[in-house]
Each structure stands twice: as structure tokens, then as C-alpha cells.
Amino acid sequence: MSKIVVVGSYVVDLMSRTPHLPKPGETVLGGPFKMGPGGKGGNQVTAAARCGSDVTFVTKLGDDLFGREALKHFITENVNTQFIKIDPGQATGAALIAVDDRSENSIVVSLGACGTITEADVLEAEEEIKEADIVLLQLETSIEAVVSSIKLACDNGIPIILNPAPFQKFPEDILYNVHYITPNETEAFELSGVEVTDEGTALAAARKIHEMGVGTVIITMGSKGAFLYNGKEKGELVPGFKVEAVDTTGAGDAFNGGFAFGLSKGLPVRDAMIFGQAVAALSVTKIGTAPAMPYEHEIKDFLALKGIRAV
């Protein structure tokens, strides 16, 4: 059984289609409007759970309508909600999302309750973390939560995936305890100072990030694929799958959830990446974030059509 613990963010997604992303001061008539579960942590939890993982989520919600709907969602997805705490002094996080006719998006996130996760909150889930195959983290929460999760997982020999998104400053010495880091091109630039535009610049950025202490660097590059570097080789751009994208919001989260699942099932890193890319490809063919995450049978059917055996 795949057992994954995700410590991170939940925000409700408030999404509208728009002919084009608004310029400063511009009002654009859009629609339709959709509301649904989201946040990088919530999306990754949903992706991993639909792949077939036993997922525990450590996060915080407000005592409000959005929080109650979030709990319903995770119960429906068979997620362990024991460590989802309700903070009556905070609102549930929210993301304002605009998606244009080219499927590009613009997002403003208000973290609310999930931005106040403390070390004490993480420690409450210590036994779950000790028994996990993988601990999956993002930067869409308090840095205290990230640092304490890495320390706890490291002390117990549990592999860690850090998705450094959305990028914010953090103590870089924690990277020596991170097994896998999964930035996109923008986050890779923030970490390395190298602008990632192609395979060559991805290698240069990945080398610098690897030198910061991370075991394996995976730079997600959208439709180009994902660049793999572990310090021993020149690296490799692992191609993604070509699909007709409807909404690219949440694709990175889909990849991370699928990648975590693949690793937890014992797949080699490259094969786990391919599995994650299949999850991401299927997610962008639907509108939304968490609701767009594919189910296990959809992923297996998709990979079978490509001649790839799923886990």
C-alpha cells in the first residue's frame, strides 16, 4: 500500500474563465464561474488519493462554509482527515483564479488558516509521518510547518519531496535533508539564479540547486516535459504527454501527487516521473484543480494506450 503524508495548504478555488487576463485597472467580463477545493496541498492530496494512495493531510481550515465543504471533499476522497484542524480565528484560504482562452492563468492566493500551521500541529501527526513512504511538502503555508516537517521526516528516515511553490524565502540549509525537489522554471530561477528556457539552462539551474544539498532535482517544464538531475549524470529531459489542454491550473500539483505515488510504490525515479506526467496530462484536459485530478483507472488506461505499464 502507498502511504503518503502531505503537510500544506488548502484553499478554496474561485475560478472564472475570461477572454484574456485583465491588465492593471481593467475589468473583463468572464464566465462561467466555478468554486471548488484547491490549494497546492489540497490538490496534491486529491491527486495522490485518486491514484490509489492512503493519504494523510495535515492542514488548517477556518470555521466557515469553505472549511466545511473542504472536509466533505476529503472525506469523499477517502483521505485521513484526523490532522485537519479547524481554527475559529481564521478564514479558510481562498484563491482567485482567472483562466483565459489560451488556458493560461493568473492566481491570487489568500492563505488564511493554512498559513498558520505550527510545529506543534505537525508533531501531532508524528506517528503518521513515521509510518509514511513519502512526505510531500510545498511552500504555500508557514515556513515553520515546512521546516518542522522536514526535520521530523528526516529524523525518521522518511523520503521527502519538496515542491517549492509558490516560491518564498526559506532556510536553505534544510535542502540537505530533502531527497527530491520539484520546482517549475520560475521557481528554479528563484533558487538558482539561472533562467530556465531549454534543456541546457535547465541543466545549469539543476546543478546549482543540487549543489545546495538536494539529492535529486526535477524541474517541471510544462509541455516540454520535466528535467531530471541527480548530480551523477548530465541530466535528462523526460518528455511529457501531448494532450489538448483546457485548463493548466493545478498541473504541477497533479505531477507531484502522481510522482509521490509512483515513488511510494517503489518505482525508479524516471518511471515515477512518467507516471506523474500522465496524471498532469490528464488533469489539464478538464476544468478546475482538485476536481480535475484523474482517477487510477483513467491513468492506467491512458498509459496503456501509450504502451506503458502502470504500477
Give me the DSSP letters along the chain.
Answer: --EEEEE---EEEEEEE-SSPPPTT-------EEEEEESHHHHHHHHHHHHT-EEEEEEEEESSHHHHHHHHHHHHTT-B-TTEEEETTSPPEEEEEEE-TTS-EEEEEE-GGGGG--HHHHHTTHHHHHT-SEEEEESSS-HHHHHHHHHHHHHTT--EEEE--S-----GGGGGG-SEE--BHHHHHHHHS----SHHHHHHHHHHHHHTT-SEEEEE-GGG-EEEE-SSSS-EEE-------S--TTHHHHHHHHHHHHHHTT--HHHHHHHHHHHHHHHTTSSSSGGGPPPHHHHHHHHHHTT----
Average pLDDT over residues 75-93: 97
Residue 171 has pLDDT above 90, yes or no: yes
Share of the chain above pLDDT 70, in %: 99
Annotated binding site for ATP: 184, 220-225, 252-253
Catalytic residue from among 54, 253, 271, 301: 253
Q: pLDDT band for position 61 (50/70/90)?
A: very high
Average pLDDT over residues 29-36: 89
- What's residue 107's pLDDT? 85
What CA–CA distances, in Å, run from 163 to 17, 140, 194? 27, 9, 18
Q: What is the mean pLDDT of the chain?
A: 94
Q: pLDDT band for position 308 (50/70/90)?
A: confident
Q: pLDDT band for position 1 (50/70/90)?
A: confident
Annotated binding site: 11-13, 39-43, 140, 184, 220-225, 247, 249, 252-253, 283, 286, 288
Average pLDDT over residues 170-182: 97
Residues 6+ apart with CB under 8 A from 55: 4, 5, 6, 45, 48, 49, 79, 80
Contact call for residues 249 and 15 (beta carbons, < 8 A):
yes
Distance CA 276, CA 262 (A): 7
Residue 155 has pLDDT above 80, yes or no: yes
**Joined grid coordinates for residue 252:** 504541477
Least confident of 60-69, 93-102, 221-230, 267-276: 93-102
Q: pLDDT band for position 261 (50/70/90)?
A: very high
Domains of the chain, start order = 40-91+117-305 (3.40.1190.20)
- What's residue 65's pLDDT? 95
- What's residue 45's pLDDT? 98
Calculate helix-pair angle for 40-51, 65-76, nearest 10 degrees.
20
Instruction: State yes or no: is 121 an active-site residue.
Output: no
Average pLDDT over residues 278-293: 93
Q: What is the pTM of this model?
A: 0.93
230: number of Cβ within 10 Å? 16
Q: Is omega for the bond preceding 291 within 30 degrees of 0, making it cis?
A: no
Average pLDDT over residues 264-272: 96
Annotated binding site for K(+): 247, 249, 283, 286, 288
Q: pLDDT band for position 233 (50/70/90)?
A: confident
Instruction: Look at residues 218, 248, 295 and name the one whose alpha carbon lies nearest to residue 49.
Output: 295
Average pLDDT over residues 4-16: 94
Distance CA 304, CA 295 (A): 14
CA dihedral 74, 77, 82, 86 (to 10 degrees): 0
Annotated binding site for substrate: 11-13, 39-43, 140, 253
